[in-house]
Amino acid sequence: MGDEPPPESTLAEPTTADSRRPIAVLVVDDHPMWRDGLARDLGARGFTVAGTATDAESATRTARTVRPDVVLIDLYLPAVLDAIMGIALELPDSRVVVLSASGPSQDAVEAVKGGASGYLDKSASVEDLVNAVQRAAAGDAVFTAGLAGLVLSEFGRMSADPQSPWLTDRESEVLRLVGKGLTVRQIADRLVISRRTVENHVQGVFRKLQLHNRVELARYAIEHGLDGESEE
């Protein structure tokens, strides 16, 4: 699906880190009402809706053209992991946040391993959505308690691999508390550390998971012709 012009905004524009332009978002979903409604909500709050797409293949193609700061994509589109990995490899400055109506799952963990910056439930409020897009554009990991618990379990499965990234004791402790549903403030109070330190620990876990996957991404690029040796 081609680009759609963003709705007119009457609010202050959320901007990129350099504050020179609004955050550009690509919205990918196969349900027209949800996709168009999300685009309207973002446009009304000052984001630039750089385009929309209905499937994973057109998402990758459109992302190459518009180079968005953030891609919001439905987790259960066919071939969505291929799109996430392709965007992460080809467009490292574009952050991918997966959206799901069914709650965190192993599929969400695989999306994060494939290069997604995080996960957001479709039942989240518009305010939560705006916050998630701004955080993703700034390079932060977007996570929920359920996803954090699944990521921690994934590290447990990966621990037998000598090339796996190892969590520090504090990272494990923080992530277990997040997985139990504690808020950042509650974790900070319990561990007597700042809220920013809590957030840094969780983001560090996500970064380690993604760094572990760079070898797999490189292998994917070679196998799928994304290493510059094939035509687009």
Kindly list the structural domains of the chain, giving each domain's residue range(s) and its CATH number in brackets, ordered by start. Answer: 24-141 (3.40.50.2300), 146-214 (1.10.10)
**Does the pLDDT value for residue 11 go beyond 70?**
no
Question: Which pLDDT does position 20 carry in this prediction?
Answer: 66
pLDDT of residue 145: 65
pLDDT at residue 138 in the model: 86
Taking each helix axis from N to C terminus, what angle separates 106-113 and 80-90, rounded to the nearest 10 degrees?
20
CB burial string 191-202: b at 16+ within 10 A, e below: eeeeeeebbebb
Would the pLDDT of 115 be above 80? yes
* pLDDT confidence of residue 140: 78
Mean pLDDT lowest among 46-55, 123-132, 147-156, 190-199 = 147-156
Most confident by average pLDDT, 38-47, 116-125, 165-174, 203-212: 38-47
> 217 exposed, middle or buried (CB, 10 Å; 0-12, 13-18, 19+)?
middle
pLDDT band, residue 165 (cuts 50/70/90): low
Q: What is the pLDDT of residue 59?
A: 96
Confidence tier at 157 by pLDDT (50, 70, 90): low
Distant-in-sequence contacts of 176-184, Cβ < 8 A, 24+ apart: 176/149, 176/152, 178/143, 178/145, 178/148, 178/149, 178/202, 179/145, 179/146, 179/148, 179/149, 179/150, 179/152, 180/145, 180/149, 181/145, 182/145
- Choose the weakest-confidence range: 35-39, 61-65, 98-102: 98-102
Amino acid 15: pLDDT: 58
- Please indicate whether residue 229 or residue 189 has the higher confidence score (pLDDT): 189
Average pLDDT score over the chain: 77
More confident residue, 107 or 213: 107
Answer for the pair 143, 202: CB distance below 8 angstroms, yes or no.
Answer: yes
- State the pLDDT confidence band at 47, using cuts at 50, 70 and 90: very high
